[in-house]
Amino acid sequence: MPSSLPPLAALRAFEAAARLESFSRAGDEIHVTHGAVSHQVRALEDFVGAPLFVRQGRGVVPTADGRALASAVRAALGQVADAAQAIRRRHRADRLTISVMPSFGSRWLMPRVGGFMAAHPDWEVNIESTAALVDFAREDVDVAVRFGPGPWVGLHAEFLMDDEYLLVASPSLFKSRLPKTPQDLLRLPLLRADPEPWAMWCAAAGVDLPRPDKGIDYQDMGVMLQTAIDGQGVMLARRSIARMELERKTLVPLLGITCPAEGAYWLVWPEERTPSERVLAFRDWIVAEANRKTTARAVTAARSTVGRLR
């Protein structure tokens, strides 16, 4: 190893501290103490012969020298990570790792993915459920499902399906007194999440109802859905997440008013990465599954319309 190379442990601690502008947060990220990060940074400053940070309040800010070094270290660590991930992918040809949002994973993907696994019994399929966007450069993930406007810079994105919001609740909440007008919602407990298209739904309903401002502000739609299933309130749910419970009738749709979601589901992987056989097989399966459910919904809607015309 070249004698001019700084201590590698110090470089890792320094890069995290420069990016996060905090020794404490850097320590949390690399699983060492605040004091250990400070010690590593001092060792690196002694090595280069110049200060790399200045204190600012409770945080730290890189100096000009610190910013230049951090940029070089980040690029070098990124190259090492890319090389290591490429080797791991080549030597794990039977493994597929999929990153999904918790609500989509539990309510849409998991009830269906058994069919994919049965078609590929020799593959190891790992599903990582997280609300955080996957960092393909640093994480051992092959493909991810995202919800949003799409597409995204640097990612190959394939459209899966759009979605819509509708009001749902447990039948046990009403005791046979279903709401008949949007104004009837004011006498019911309304579950809330941020963000949610409450204003868009009200516009579709032609009413101006205040947004719910009491109770728990749910961060995960799957948890919120379970609260509705338990009969604790009415929620504005994405149809894809509530579909299974609507089919089981543990939730019922209310008022028949929907509004489109400002986004769609996409399957994504890095643009520069040639998709593996596993990724392409999963792509074909999930696209077909999404199309099958979309077609089924369209047929159901058409039958409902014919029934009303009769």
**CATH code at 288?**
3.40.190.10
pLDDT at 50 over 70: yes
Quick one: tokens of 54?
């200045």
127/69 same-domain check: no
83/113 same-domain check: no
152/215 same-domain check: no
Residue 283 lies in a domain: yes
158/169 same-domain check: no
**Which of 66, 90, 114 is at the close of a domain?**
90
CATH code of residue 14: 1.10.10.10
**Helix or strand (DSSP H, E) at 155:** strand 155-169
Asked if 78 and 212 touch (Cβ cutoff 8 Å), the reply is no
197/210 same-domain check: yes
Residue 2 lies in a domain: no
DSSP alpha helix (H) spans, the chain? 8-20, 23-30, 34-48, 64-90, 102-104, 113-119, 198-205, 221-229, 239-248, 277-309
Residue 212 lies in a domain: yes
> What CA–CA distance (Å, rounded) separates 177 from 219?
29
Cis peptide before 210 (omega within 30 of 0): no
Residue range of the domain that includes 80: 8-90
The pairing of beta strand 235-238 with beta strand 217-218: unpaired
* pLDDT band for position 288 (cuts 50, 70, 90): very high
* pLDDT band for position 89 (cuts 50, 70, 90): low
pLDDT at 255 over 50: yes
71/17 same-domain check: yes
Quick one: tokens of 181?
């007008």
113/144 same-domain check: yes
60/38 same-domain check: yes
Residue 233 lies in a domain: yes
**Which of 34, 61, 90 is at the close of a domain?**
90
**Which of 90, 118, 142 is at the close of a domain?**
90
155/289 same-domain check: yes
Domain count, the chain: 3
85/154 same-domain check: no
157/281 same-domain check: yes
| Mean pLDDT, residues 224-243 | 89
Residue 145 lies in a domain: yes
Residue 305 lies in a domain: no
pLDDT at 309 over 60: no
**Cα dist. 66→20, 26, 57 in Å?**
13, 15, 18
* pLDDT band for position 128 (cuts 50, 70, 90): very high
- What's residue 294's pLDDT? 52
pLDDT at 237 over 50: yes
Predicted model pTM: 0.63
φ/ψ (deg, to 5) at 168: -135, 160
3-state helix, strand, coil in the chain (%, to 5): 45, 25, 30
139/278 same-domain check: yes
pLDDT at 234 over 80: yes
Give 139-186 pLDDT, tens digit per residue.
889 999 999 888 898 999 999 999 999 999 998 887 667 788 888 888
**Cα dist. 44→12, 28, 37, 75, 83 in Å?**
11, 20, 11, 18, 25
> What CA–CA distance (Å, rounded) separates 201 from 279?
37
